[in-house]
Amino acid sequence: MIAKLRHRLLGNASPLSTLCGGGLLIMASDRLAHALTILGALLWVYCLSTLAVYAGSKVFPRRGGSVLLAFLTSFVAGIFALLLWIMSPLCAMEMFFAISLVPIVCISSGILQKTESQSLKERIFNSLWEALVLGIVIVIFAIIREPLGYLSLSLPGGPQGIVLLFSLEKEFFLPVHLIAGSCGALLLLGYFLGLYRRYREEK
């Protein structure tokens, strides 16, 4: 199980190994509210796309499969964005670009093609597992970045798009505020990768 988790996180076919997966991690982990929204989008797109591919495997044409998958995953992500818009329009506007990356992450991971020879239960489990792993990594980064960068912690919802659990109105130094930006996310990512490689070498 540990080896499987390591492969999902840092393997050659992991979502984080692609440019869009890394971009999604950086954009969605600035606040916990955004990370939780993307976690929901990942679970929604991965599982429903897998279910749709399984249901239409006998009907879908063999040629143009990649175009069909792009349309299918984008349609499923669009439904999620619409539901989010109904519940919280401002949150949907803030997260629209990040949500639009979820279908690309799903397709580039190859999970829809890798599970073609499996049963429906195995397909759903593998898709759920991969989406959950990537989503939890984004949430963990957000739990680190938001308190350090904004001195707050938030949840999705409310008239402003996010609901603050707490917010400390204090001045903070630039190196801490830097964590809230994209460069701070890259620094954290490099730090955790360095720790992982050190741990792997010692093992």
The percent of the chain in helix, strand and coil, each rounded to the nearest 5, is 75, 5, 20
The model's pLDDT over 12-64, given as tens digits with 9 standing for 90+, comes to 555 555 667 777 888 888 888 999 999 999 999 999 999 988 887 777 766 66
What's the mean pLDDT in 162-191? Answer: 65
| pLDDT level of residue 113 (50, 70, 90 thresholds) | confident
The domain of 147 spans 2-202
The model's pLDDT over 116-155, given as tens digits with 9 standing for 90+, comes to 677 888 888 888 988 998 899 899 888 888 887 777 788 8
Q: Which residue has the tokens 């397709």?
A: 107
Q: How many structural domains compose the chain?
A: 1
Residue 142 or 176, more confident: 142
What's the mean pLDDT in 104-122? Answer: 81
Q: What angle do CA 27, 33, 34 make, to 5 degrees?
A: 25
Question: Helix count (H) and strand count (E) of the chain?
Answer: 9, 2
